[in-house]
Structure formats: C-alpha cells, structure tokens
C-alpha cells in the first residue's frame, strides 16, 4: 500500500475509523469504482467512494447520490 496517498477522511463531520483495526488513515480510490465496480454493481450512474484502510486493507464503501 502506498503511503503518500493515504490521509484522514472526514464523513459528515465524523472522522473515519477502520472498524477492524481502528486505523484512521485511508487510501482513497474513486476512479476504480466508476470505471469497474460501478459497472459490475449495476450502478454506473451512481458515485461511490472507496476508502481502503492503510493498516489492514479493509474497504470502506460510501454511496453518494
Ligand atoms: Zn483497518
């Protein structure tokens, strides 16, 4: 996992914490969702944000209309 792109994430005023390891730095990936996962999930018109935990790799999904 690359460290230079990892950062703390704030969702609606709440700092995102990994539910698995409690980590607070995440790797953000939006392009992957729009081009690949969005199609697979049948929601290519939706905007989804993915934040991957830097420590354990847990994927936090957020759905944005
Ligand atoms: Zn984690």
Residues with CB under 5 A from ligand 1 (ion): 18, 20-21, 23, 53, 55-56, 58
Which mean pLDDT values do the consecutive 10-residue runs of the chain (65 residues) have? Answer: 76 94 91 61 71 95 78
**Of the candidates 40, 2, 9, 5, the residue with the CA atom closest to the CA atom of residue 24:** 9
Ligand 1 centroid to residue 43 C-alpha, Å: 26
Q: What is the pLDDT of residue 14?
A: 93
Q: What is the pLDDT of residue 56?
A: 97
Count CB-CB contacts under 10 A for residue 64. Answer: 8
Structure tokens, 34 = 């729009």
At 6 the three-state DSSP class reads strand
Q: What is the pLDDT of residue 59?
A: 93
Edge-to-edge order in the sheet of strand 47-53:
6-7, 26-29, 47-53, 59-64
């Amino acid at each position: 996992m690359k460290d230079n792109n990892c950062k703390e994430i704030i969702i609606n005023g709440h700092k995102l914490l990994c539910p698995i390891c409690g980590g607070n730095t995440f790797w953000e990936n939006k392009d992957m969702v729009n081009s690949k996962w969005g199609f697979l999930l049948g929601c290519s018109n939706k905007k989804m944000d993915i934040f991957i935990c830097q420590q354990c790799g847990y994927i936090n999904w957020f759905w944005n209309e």
